[in-house]
Amino acid sequence: MYKINENYLKLPGSYLFSTIGKKVAEFTAANPDKKIIRLGIGDVTLPLAPVVVDRLHTAVDEMGVKDTFKGYAPDLGYDFLREAIALHDFKARGVDISIDEIFISDGAKSDSGNIGDIFDVDNKIAVCDPVYPVYVDTNVMAGRTGEYNADLGKWSKVIYMPCTAENNFAPELPKETPDIIYLCFPNNPTGSTIKKAELQKWVDYALKSGAVIIYDAAYEAYITEDDVPHSIYECDGAKACAIEIRSFSKNAGFTGTRLGFTVVPKELKSGDIMLNSLWARRHGTKFNGAPYIIQAAGSAIYTEEGKKQTKDMVAYYMQNAKIIREGLTDAGYLVSGGVNAPYIWLKTPDKMTSWEFFDYLLNEVNIVGTPGSGFGPSGEGYFRLTAFGTYENTLEAMDRIKKL
Ligand code: MLT
């Protein structure tokens, strides 16, 4: 008789956003007349930029003509897209990344989950707490996290780095040495970020301790302040200790179109073994490439017009972030995030738990947010709202909250 991967049975409950989706669906079924405002999952609401839509159309036409039709995409990505990324995302910021260090994928979520494939199951991971649940859950599936303590909401073999108001939502270097460190800046869920000098400390620590950093920079387009790094490779030595994951979802609205990439520098080695070769092997074996039409559409964001149009999209969401920050502050909430990130992190009022506040907002004012405790034990007593709603709904949501 075959055996299943029993690590899956260790996972408590369902994926955070599936649980929320289910709760909201139940509420809607029971209250069909209520207009719900969704500020929960970080899903975009603006349509794709016109340059992207135009390129999609021409790419579809190319697929319908014998001479320009494309079959399987190169499994590491089309050169035209990797070249644009190397030039505009890295060289423009003084970072030298070659195209064979860039691996195109269908998004940052898959890459941040799949990257664990190239590491031994005995590695010890360190995560921020609260944290994007994919990092932990995929390590649970791989059998890397030990046993779950439901009272603490923690896994026995995971090093948790609390990020709370006390440390300004920035993790401190862990006391126990990890092998793999997950960092995400600008941060999901807290919306916090760190300056370059701070990130340099992490790079130095990883180099010294022999750890690898998985750096999720999916929200870099939202950085508004100077001295906040857009890429970990802006730090000295990072190419020898860090993998960076990027997404087209948040900067260009590709949540439904799916496109992302991972950078694995050739300098990153375990002994003589280049992680770049391992990831190339994994990618080539398990992935058949993001579709040509999507990669072509993605490349349009690097044109002058594309840069302008996507910058406008980011500005639209950041205007929402400001409305939420100011609205909540006026209503007496303690708020952080929303300055270099599309997420606003607030302290729940009256000692409510995160889920109590979720129910309260849903029932009283029909607003959906994300309970902080869903991101880890240190998220308890916090709540996340996203700036990815429409401008009108964001304004209405703040009106409703102020009247509470
Ligand atoms: C979130 O709401 O945290 C994001 O939408 C998650 C994701 O990008 O997968």
346 touches 320 (CB < 8 A)? no
Measure 246 CA to ligand 1 centroid, in angstroms: 13
Pocket test for ligand 1, best of 18, 41, 345, 370 (most atoms within 8 A of CB): 41
Residue 14 confidence (pLDDT): 80
The verdict on whether omega for the bond into residue 186 sits within 30 degrees of 0, i.e. cis, is yes
* pLDDT per position as a tens digit, 98-127: 999 999 999 999 999 999 999 999 999 999
Q: Which helix (H) or strand (E) holds 263?
A: strand 260-263
Side chain identity at residue 222, one-letter code: Y
Three-state DSSP at 366 gives coil
34 touches 28 (CB < 8 A)? yes
Residue 6 confidence (pLDDT): 97
Pocket test for ligand 1, best of 38, 39, 43, 250 (most atoms within 8 A of CB): 43
Residue 273 confidence (pLDDT): 98
Query: Rounded to 5 degrees, what are φ and ψ at 372?
Result: -60, -35
Please, which residues have CB within 8 angstroms of residue 68's CB and are 6 or more apart in sequence?
A: 62
Whether 7-46+305-402 shares its CATH topology with 53-304 is answered no
Residue 15 confidence (pLDDT): 81
- 283: its two tokens: 């990618």
Measure 42 CA to ligand 1 centroid, in angstroms: 5
Measure 309 CA to ligand 1 centroid, in angstroms: 22
Give strand pairing partners of 37.
Answer: 367
Tell me the C-alpha distance between 35 and 30, whole Å: 12
Give the pTM: 0.97
List ligand 1's pocket residues with C-beta within 6 A.
Answer: 41-43, 109, 132, 188, 249
Give the ipTM of the model, two decimals please.
Answer: 0.93
Tell me the C-alpha distance between 366 and 37, whole Å: 6
Side chain identity at residue 292, one-letter code: Y
Buried b (16+ CB within 10 A) or exposed e, 244-282: bbbbbbbbbbbbebbbbbbbbbeebeeeeebbbebbbee
Q: Any idea where the domains of the chain sit in the sequence?
A: 7-46+305-402, 53-304
Give strand pairing partners of 52.
Answer: none
pLDDT tens per residue, the chain (404 residues)?
999 999 999 998 888 888 899 999 999 999 999 999 999 999 999 999 999 999 999 999 999 999 999 999 998 999 999 999 999 999 999 999 999 999 999 999 999 999 999 999 999 999 999 999 999 999 999 999 999 999 999 999 999 999 999 999 999 999 999 999 999 999 999 999 999 999 999 999 999 999 999 999 999 999 999 999 999 999 999 999 999 999 999 999 999 999 999 999 999 999 999 999 999 999 999 999 999 999 999 999 999 999 999 999 999 999 999 999 999 999 999 999 999 999 999 999 999 999 999 999 999 999 999 999 999 999 999 999 999 999 999 999 999 999 98
Tell me the C-alpha distance between 168 and 178, whole Å: 22
Q: Average pLDDT of the chain?
A: 97
For 53-304, give the CATH class: alpha beta
CATH superfamily of 7-46+305-402: Aspartate Aminotransferase, domain 1 (3.90.1150.10)
Please, which residues have CB within 8 angstroms of residue 71's CB and are 6 or more apart in sequence?
A: none
Side chain identity at residue 339, one-letter code: V
Number of the ligand 1 atom closest to the C-alpha atom of 134: 9
Please, which residues have CB within 8 angstroms of residue 392's CB and are 6 or more apart in sequence?
A: none
Half-sphere exposure of 295 (CA within 13 A, CB side): 24
